[in-house]
Amino acid sequence: MTLRLAIVGLGKIARDQHVPSIAKTEGVELTSIASRNASIDGMSHFPDIETLLASDEAVDAVALCTPPQGRHAQAVAALQAGKHVLLEKPPGATVSEMGPLVALAQEKGVTLFATWHSRFAPAVEPARAFLADTDIHSVHVEWKEDVRKWHPGQAWIWEPGGLGVFDPGINALSIVTAILPRPMFLRRSDLQFPENRAAPIAADLEFTDATGLAVRAEFDWRETGGETWSVHVETAKGKLTLSEGGKKLALDGQPMVNEPDAEYAGIYRRFVELTKTGAIDVDLSPLQHVADAFLLGRRHVVDAFVEA
Amino acid sequence: MTLRLAIVGLGKIARDQHVPSIAKTEGVELTSIASRNASIDGMSHFPDIETLLASDEAVDAVALCTPPQGRHAQAVAALQAGKHVLLEKPPGATVSEMGPLVALAQEKGVTLFATWHSRFAPAVEPARAFLADTDIHSVHVEWKEDVRKWHPGQAWIWEPGGLGVFDPGINALSIVTAILPRPMFLRRSDLQFPENRAAPIAADLEFTDATGLAVRAEFDWRETGGETWSVHVETAKGKLTLSEGGKKLALDGQPMVNEPDAEYAGIYRRFVELTKTGAIDVDLSPLQHVADAFLLGRRHVVDAFVEA
């Protein structure tokens, strides 16, 4: 049976990634849009999820692509109505709000899937398998991009709960937490806040794990010379480098993986699988690390950020 | 068999609360102190926990009363040495660091007890029992004290990881999370930072739960007219007020509980019980709410704080 899916929040990520990936995935069909301003020709349109759920539109599942601050109430409404729910990353504005959501999904017997799209990048599983089997000496994460290019006009991203540079940085954290063999935890957090913004534009973090592994992560939104989305791991078997956000993997410069992006196709394949049994897949560790980074963060004030 | 206990970090809380409470508790005996500068006459003294553990001093358990930023490494050392561990609140500087600690305690078969002393206040259990059985309309937490009086010279408390006003505020959160029938989560966080400090001096928080309950919490360290440590709960059966940090409980002004403080005696009674089976008691929800309050917090800058 094909899953009839509504997208809630037809913004940049929904148009760029969700819509084309759903079209390519067997077992799921995009039937409806709930979005204040945007619509797709030939598809049922509703101004918001409440109107959609109150209508007689037949949907089995919703994908929440709205900003994280409002997603909790939308997820509750969808789960209460017995719909499977897919959450864009980050899954919410706080860690604590996720517990009641998981409990509600369990009660209703439907799927709740907190997605981390970067974990579906082609280099991630090979990197995990490689690192499971070798001594790791150190990890260095560089996640640098131009906020003006990648988040044009997204005011919510600078608001509390919008995460600032952790919006891309949490992708790196979702990869690192997936490929390292042991849980890591934060030891130092330095955050750079533009003097006119409520969220950081850069972060410098030091993590470790139970074996004392040094994991350094540098996130920066002021990179105008092209993107760097890389994880470098020094190991007993050589230097493993995951780059281009997980499209490429190399060992001592020798390519191991080099595949086109298929992250959101992977997400929707997994979502279709999960909904067959109403299974729940909610891993909060990337968001937990971000919360810890704010909790332990030392604030540094830097130049104002002006969009235009 | 009496538990031979070492206190690590002989500061204000250890002297004021731990030492006298241990003396009053059956089944545990204070035998050693690890503290850089302080000691107790007639008791073995070590400069730090590493020296203590490397010595032939016979201890079964340690109570970590040091600032939270350094507590993780001390807890690891103690657990590795097979000692039971009691953690003052907050249990660590981040939420994520607690997972590996719990895993290590399990591996070693020893007790790890993340204490929340306010939960042992006499009004807490009666309040929980009352609220389990009545409709709750709203909750208002007021936790206000004079930082100069209660935390004289504690520089670490203003550093990242020291929590600022959440150091007392987390006591309120430990009570509220214990007495409410359902988990709550944060919706709004406004934090006031002195312009010369890295931690907040006041916080105004709004939580809710799966039923939409309104929980407001106000923490303030600038209260010089005496302390207010109260939780007010409007219920279908009247207004329940927990005050004086949990020593008193009243319904519509009629006293239900009015007992002297015995929080730390309660902690040590429970610790002795836990160590009999190597049980673990680690509830991170109060610290999780604080991490969320920083994550979602809107920062407001207020007057500089000068100690003297």
Would you state the pLDDT for residue B274?
98
Shared-domain flag, residues A245 and A123? yes
Residue count of chain A: 308
Shared-domain flag, residues A96 and A130? no
Shared-domain flag, residues A24 and A95? yes
Task: Tell which phi-psi region holds residue A282, choosing left (phi > 0), alpha (psi between -120 and 50) or beta.
Answer: beta
Contact between A52 and A34 under an 8 Å Cβ cutoff? The reply is: yes
Q: How far apart are CA B234 and CA A67, in angstroms?
A: 33
Would you state the pLDDT for residue A94?
96
Instruction: Please check whether residue A282 lies inside any domain of the structure.
Output: no
Would you state the pLDDT for residue B68?
86
Distances from the Cα of B79 to the Cαs of A184, B19, B87, B267, in angstroms?
A: 18, 22, 12, 19
Q: Is residue A91 helix, strand or coil?
A: coil
Mean pLDDT score of chain A: 96
Lowest mean pLDDT: which of A51-55, A68-72, B248-252?
A68-72
- CB-closest option in A104, A185, A299 to B97: A185
Instruction: Please check whether residue A93 lies inside any domain of the structure.
Output: yes
Instruction: Please check whether residue A275 lies inside any domain of the structure.
Output: no
Q: Within an 8 Å CB–CB cutoff, is residue B289 touching chain A?
A: yes
Instruction: Please check whether residue B264 lies inside any domain of the structure.
Output: no
Instruction: Please check whether residue A202 lies inside any domain of the structure.
Output: yes
Task: Tell which phi-psi region holds residue B9, choosing left (phi > 0), alpha (psi between -120 and 50) or beta.
Answer: left
Would you state the pLDDT for residue A156?
87
Tell which A residues from 227 to 246 touch B, by Cβ distance under 8 Å: none
The domain tally of chain B equals 2
Shared-domain flag, residues A159 and A250? yes
Contact between A143 and A231 under an 8 Å Cβ cutoff? The reply is: no
Look-up of token digits 């332990």: A296
Task: Tell which phi-psi region holds residue B212, choosing left (phi > 0), alpha (psi between -120 and 50) or beta.
Answer: left
A144 is catalytic: no
Catalytic residue from among B24, B83, B89, B248: B89
* A198·B160 Cβ contact <8 A: no
Question: Residue A148 — very low, low, confident or very high, per pLDDT cuts 50/70/90?
Answer: very high
- CB-closest option in A198, A291, A297 to B95: A291
Residue A227 has pLDDT above 90, yes or no: yes
Q: How far apart are CA A181 and CA A13, in angstroms?
A: 31
Dump pLDDT digits (tens) for A171-219.
999 999 999 999 999 999 999 999 999 999 999 999 999 999 999 999 9
Q: Which two tokens stand for residue B189?
A: 């966080």
Shared-domain flag, residues A44 and A191? no
Instruction: Please check whether residue B48 lies inside any domain of the structure.
Output: yes
Q: How far apart are CA A25 and CA A28, in angstroms?
A: 6
Instruction: Please check whether residue B44 lies inside any domain of the structure.
Output: yes
CA distance to partner chain A, nearest, from residue B56 (Å): 26
Dump pLDDT digits (tens) for A36-46.
989 999 899 99
- Write the DSSP symbol of residue A42: T
Cα radius of gyration (chain A): 19
Shared-domain flag, residues B68 and B135? no
Residues of A in contact with B100 (CB under 8 A): 182-183, 185, 209-210
Would you state the pLDDT for residue A154?
86
Shared-domain flag, residues A199 and A296? yes
Shared-domain flag, residues A17 and A154? no
- What type of residue sits at position B245? G
* A285·B96 Cβ contact <8 A: yes
CATH of the domain at B159: 3.30.360.10
Mean pLDDT, rounded, for A241-269: 96
Instruction: Please check whether residue A273 lies inside any domain of the structure.
Output: no
Residue A281 has pLDDT above 90, yes or no: yes
Give exposure, A255-290, as e/b (b: 16+ Cβ within 10 Å): eebeeebebbbbbbbbbbebbeeeebeeebbbbbbb
The residue among B79, B114, B149 that closes a domain is B114
pTM for the structure as a whole? 0.96
The residue among B83, B114, B145 that closes a domain is B114
Shared-domain flag, residues A60 and A183? no
Residue A70 has pLDDT above 90, yes or no: no
Strand B238-243 relative to strand B280-281, pairing: unpaired
- Reference A61, options A266, A274, A209, A249; nearest CA is A274
Task: Tell which phi-psi region holds residue A204, choosing left (phi > 0), alpha (psi between -120 and 50) or beta.
Answer: beta
Would you state the pLDDT for residue B37?
87
The residue among B72, B93, B114 that closes a domain is B114
Shared-domain flag, residues B194 and B297? yes
CATH of the domain at B24: 3.40.50.720
Residue A30 has pLDDT above 90, yes or no: yes
Facing residues of A85 across strands?
A62, A112
CA distance to partner chain B, nearest, from residue A105 (Å): 12
* pLDDT profile of chain B (308 residues), mean per 10: 96 94 97 94 94 97 93 97 97 96 98 98 98 97 96 89 95 98 97 96 98 98 96 98 98 95 95 98 98 96 92
Would you state the pLDDT for residue A308?
74
Domain of residue B146: give its range: 118-258+291-302
